[in-house]
Amino acid sequence: MPRHHVVGRLARHFDVIWIEPAAGWREYWLPGATPEADIQSTPPEEFGLTLYDPGRWLPEFYRPEALANWVRKQRVISACRMLKRRGCTHIVLYLWRPEFDWALDAIKADFTCYHIDDEYRFSVNDLPNDPREMALIGRVDQVIIHSRKLLEKKGSANPCTMHIPNGVDYAAYASPAPEPADMAHIPRPRMGYVGVVKSQLDLDLMLQLARQRPEWSFVLVGPQGHLGDKAELLSQLAALPNVYLTGNRQLADLPAYMQAMDVCLMCYEVCDYTHFIYPLKLNEYLATGRPVVCSPIDSVLGLEHVVRIAGNFQEWELALEDALSVEANASSAITNRQHQAALHDWDTLVQQIADRFRP
């Protein structure tokens, strides 16, 4: 999630408290429930980040509504008090989802921000803006939007709106890493997708490609998300001898897996929803220097100098062949891709956000 990259780096500029979503009261109070979590801090010499879990004293209630709202607000009030006890005099309230709009009424913050990193209605067909979200956009001091299409849809509602795309920990993805041990047995060339395996992927297209080109290995690295009616397609894909599903891997290991691919894939099904996304993996792929092939979603349009864009099966097959060519893997092509990624280093992007948060 991009919020983790942003919040972690903001903590290099400010004292930050991240309020963990509260578990329901049953998870704390009924027999056999999990023990109360404590406040956890990362080493202060590295970050000013505290992960705040209110535990059994301020759990999530669902009814009555008045009690649920009061308890939610107490979490924010507690976090604010912690910051003030540490000597903070300028309080920024940073929201990431529209359902947290109630937090605006919990405390009197000096500065408020709403960061939009998705179309939260998740519909394949574009829907009118959610009135609740638009009301939130109108109330905050700053809005941050991560994709061009979302900026077009929501950016005019608040004059203080910034377009900050998803970025990359450039050094982590560009620095050579040893090949993961479980990749060594997979024949080359490797066509790789790294991320959540979910319904937004065009699994039918991947199935066609894997069947048509048995000499290519197709590698999917990541956990399974919501697949809906595409679960059977994934089962068929996994059954092919040239398809490899590794399952989930640790975040720190992902650069090595991306570097172990010959071509990196963003095989999305094109719809209104995927036009709104800005894939986190885009600049991560580019930072490795590996060739990238992507469906024609809005976020990659205009990046034809570093990304091969393919619509139908024939275009994908040709694009993958081209991505394996000597020209696509020349040092100049690798440099161009990495240069594009370096423009989106998280440190640079978060600096822009931090500058807005300062009094």
Q: Please write the tens of the pLDDT for every residue from 143-172.
A: 999 999 999 999 999 999 999 999 999 999
- The pLDDT tens digits for 12-24 are 899 999 987 777 7
Over 70: is that where the pLDDT of 49 sits? yes
CATH 3.40.50.2000 fits 2-167+347-357, yes or no: yes
Write out the residue limits of the CATH 3.40.50.2000 domain(s) in the chain: 2-167+347-357, 170-342
Q: Give the mean model confidence (pLDDT) for residues 212-225.
A: 96
Q: What is the pLDDT of residue 33?
A: 56
Of 260, 259, 277, residue with least CA distance to 268: 277
- 94: phi > 0 → left, psi -120 to 50 → alpha, else beta; which? beta
- The pLDDT tens digits for 260-281 are 999 999 999 999 999 999 999 9
Over 90: is that where the pLDDT of 40 sits? no
State phi, psi for 319 to the nearest 5 degrees.
Answer: -65, -40
Over 50: is that where the pLDDT of 39 sits? no
Element (H, E) at 220: strand 217-221
The C-alpha atoms of residue 325 and residue 256 are separated, in whole angstroms, by 22
**CATH superfamily of this structure's domain 170-342:** Glycogen Phosphorylase B; (3.40.50.2000)
Distances (CA, A) of 275 to 118, 271, 300: 10, 6, 10
State phi, psi for 24 to the nearest 5 degrees.
Answer: -70, 155
Take residue 154 and report the two structure tokens written for it: 């929501």
